[in-house]
Chain A
Amino acid sequence: MARFLLRRLITSVVVLAGLAVVTFLMTQVLPGDPARAAAGRNATAEQVAQVRARLGLDQPLWDQFLGYLGRLAHGDLGTSVFTQRPVLDDVAAMLPASVELVLAAMVINVVVAVPLGAFAAYRRGRAADTAARIVALLGMAVPVFWLGLMLQLVLAAQLRVFPLTGQLSFGHQVPRITGMTTLDGLLAGDWAALADALAHLALPAVTLAAAFVAVVARTVRSSMITTLDSDYIALARATGAGEFRVVVRHGLRNALVPASTILGMQLGWMLGSTVLVESIFGRTGIGAYAVTAVLQNDLYAVIGTVLVIGVVFVVMNVIVDLVQLWLNPRLRHTGRRRATPVAA
């Protein structure tokens, strides 16, 4: 177990180092003068020179990189030209709303995809399986941003079932505790605000989840097929377990081991995809922030977002490893009490 965790930790460190290099290179390919970009459009020549010296842009590339690493270590991601605030503060303010969205999408993803995949496997080759496959193929083909617009058009604009944009209706207010509107509403005990926040969260979360459901359902289906064909499932049936119990209690956990890897990576990808979803629904999250930053030529804000999403992604992967340890006991005991190989 220790070896497994150590290996994963080393991988994480390597990825983080790579992330630092990549973002550093992004600052280097910047067309024009990075010092001027960092100082902002209206900076005087003197200010630009100051920034140049502070960022060490007059030094060799290697020293610049070390300086960059040093600043990262201190949480200095530069200053946003657009908001005139430290990028880290901006991102910290925006991140909770995105995390809220991603978590909601992940809940939808799991709740839809796992039963869908398991059921398709159970009814393999029948109509339900085909239907699940079509849903999956459509989910993989639909452009996320377009789906968001369509849901807005039909469910918000036409049928008025859900609010069009934003995180909270005018008139509601929640204290900022976690920065996640729903959770803050819950913590404040303001049920009306909570309901309103959930209504605002619904469409973006469904939109974000749609593309990911397909992949998870497919993974669960194929691993569930292998599981259902195994002897231990036959044995469970032979002891009188009902079909639902056989599939859910005896089978599902096995089928979830491969899916959990994918789900973990998807958390990171979902955070990336907020870029396509948040602006449509007028949510002030890190994705919308990144888009604005790109359009405003606010390079440090963009790179800061890339860095933070990258770091979150790496952290997520470590968490996934821990979940895997829980789901798959074989990983837990490597080295301890080796089972003797079965003869023949």
Chain B
Amino acid sequence: MSRARPIERAALVVAVLVAALAVLGPLLAPHDPYAVNLAQSLQGPSAEHWFGTDVNGRDVLSRLLYGARETLPATLVVIAAATLIGTLIGTLAALGGKVLDEVLMRITDIGLSLPSIILALGLAAALGPGLRSAVIALALTWWPGYARLVRTLVREVKDAEYVDAARTLGVSRLRLVFAHILPNALGALYVQTTLDVSAVMLVISGLSFVGVGAQVPSAEWGAMIAAAANNLTNGWWAVVFPGLAIMLTALAYNLVGDWLRVRNDPTLREGAR
């Protein structure tokens, strides 16, 4: 049951492919993504420009390839930072005693109970517009989910026999946490992080779309859509293709995450088809 079906294998391929394109973008891009050429403004898809050109005459395909280098790393940084903060807070809550647990979990509740896009919008506004602000703001609003999850996972593991065994052997507290508890607890975390890639990517591109994230002339996918939205009717391709890129990538990561979730949780295998 845990073997990947064709659609999941395809999703895995797409997910890896998008990452590869982000790395190799500059080598593959047929045109300079930032070269303004007003004579070529709003050309439809053609052999020369597969995905057409935007209002400034820039090649949409090339910009997409470069844009992957902004959207994907930004997403990964948010997830990495949020995971780090969440793991720290979740572990402290699980192991730090009742009072600390209560305080940290109430703070987590606050974070969980407010819409992250609004918090991120406010934070990004306070930090000043830019992709960096969007990333910081989002990392600061995304960790509570991980904190909650890590707390549960660590609490499960900390009473396990092998941890007790290590404890009786006189292993130091710090070593106990890093060498014995965390590695076992965090196994399940990567499923959630994979599932979150698409959600974070959508919010980042959304923040860029409204102008809080990546700024002109950035080729970040959300920013590309924002810049092209004014010419929606006479240059639809500059809106359609970046959107499809976001959707396809998000879909691929969702499918992979879903597959990992089912594979990791035997109770879901039945009927989860």
Direct contact of A and B (CB under 8 A): yes
Residues of chain A touching chain B, judged by Cβ–Cβ distance below 8 Å, are 11, 14-15, 18-19, 22-23, 26-27, 29-31, 124-125, 129-130, 137-138, 140-147, 149-150, 152-153, 157, 211, 225, 265, 268-269, 271-273, 275-276, 279-280, 290-291, 293-295, 297, 299, 302-303, 305-306, 309-310, 313-314, 317
Note all chain B residues with C-beta closer than 8 A to A293: 125
Chain B min CB distance to A20 (Å) = 10
Which A residues lie within 8 Å of B210 (CB)? Answer: 145, 275-276, 279, 291, 294
Point out the residues of chain B lying under 8 angstroms from A146, CB to CB: 225, 239, 242-243, 246-247
Number of B residues contacting the other chain (C-beta, 8 Å)?
49
Minimum CB–CB distance for A110 against chain B, Å: 19
Interface of B is mostly: helix
Closest to B221 in A: A143
Q: Which residues of B contact A271 (CB under 8 A)?
A: 115, 118
B129 / chain A contacts, CB cutoff of 8 Å: 294-295
Q: 8 Å CB contacts to A: which residues of B192-230? A: 198-199, 202, 205-206, 209-212, 222, 225, 229
Which chain B residues border A150 with CB–CB below 8 Å? Answer: 239-240, 243
Chain B contacts of A141 at CB under 8 A?
198, 202, 246-248, 250-251, 254
Shortest CB distance B270–A (Å): 10
* B residues with CB within 8 A of A: 106-107, 109-110, 113-119, 121-129, 198-199, 202, 205-206, 209-212, 222, 225, 229, 232-233, 236, 239-240, 242-243, 246-248, 250-251, 254-255, 258, 271, 273
Shortest C-beta distance, B68 to chain A (Å), equals: 15
* Cβ contact within 8 Å between B114 and A310: yes
| B122 and A303 form a contact (CB under 8 A) | yes
A238 and B123 alpha carbons, distance in the complex (Å): 58
Given contacts A15-B110, A141-B251, A275-B210, contact A268 B115 (CB under 8 A): yes
Q: In the complex, what's the smallest C-beta–C-beta distance from B45 to chain A, in angstroms?
A: 15
CB distance from A77 to the nearest CB of B (A): 13
User: For residue A145, which residue of chain B has the nearest CB?
Assistant: B209
The docked-state distance in angstroms from the alpha carbon of A143 to that of B119 is 19
B122, A143: Cβ atoms closer than 8 Å: no
Bound complex: CA A276 to CA B213 (Å): 13
Residues of B within 8 A of A309 (CB): 115, 118
Known: A15-B113, A18-B110, A149-B232. 10 other contacts (CB 8 A): A18-B106, A18-B107, A26-B125, A125-B273, A141-B202, A143-B202, A143-B246, A149-B239, A275-B118, A290-B118
Is the pair A137, B254 in contact by a Cβ cutoff of 8 Å? Answer: yes
A293 to B126, CA, bound (A): 11
Cα separation A273 to B203 with both chains bound (whole Å)? 10
Q: Which of A31, A138, A290, A293 has the most CB of B within 10 A?
A: A290
Contact B198 A140 (CB under 8 A): yes
Say which residue of B113, B198, B242, B254 sits within 8 Å of A317 (CB atoms).
Answer: B113
B126 contacts across to A, CB distance below 8 A: 26-27, 29-30, 299, 302
A22 neighbours in B (Cβ, 8 Å): 110, 114, 119, 122
* CB-based contact B110/A14 at 8 Å: yes
User: Can you offer 14 A-B residue contacts whose CB atoms are under 8 A?
Assistant: A18-B107, A143-B206, A144-B206, A145-B210, A153-B236, A211-B202, A269-B115, A272-B116, A275-B117, A276-B117, A290-B118, A290-B121, A291-B211, A302-B121
Pick the contact of A276 from B106, B127, B199, B209 — CB < 8 Å? Answer: B209
Q: Given the complex of chains A and B, what is the CA–CA distance between A80 and B190 in angstroms?
A: 43
Name the residue on A nearest B226 (C-beta).
Answer: A145
B114 touches A149 (CB 8 A): no
- The distance in angstroms between the C-alpha atoms of A129 and B204, with both chains bound, is 31
- With contacts A153-B239, A276-B206, A279-B210 known, is A313 near B122, CB below 8 A? no
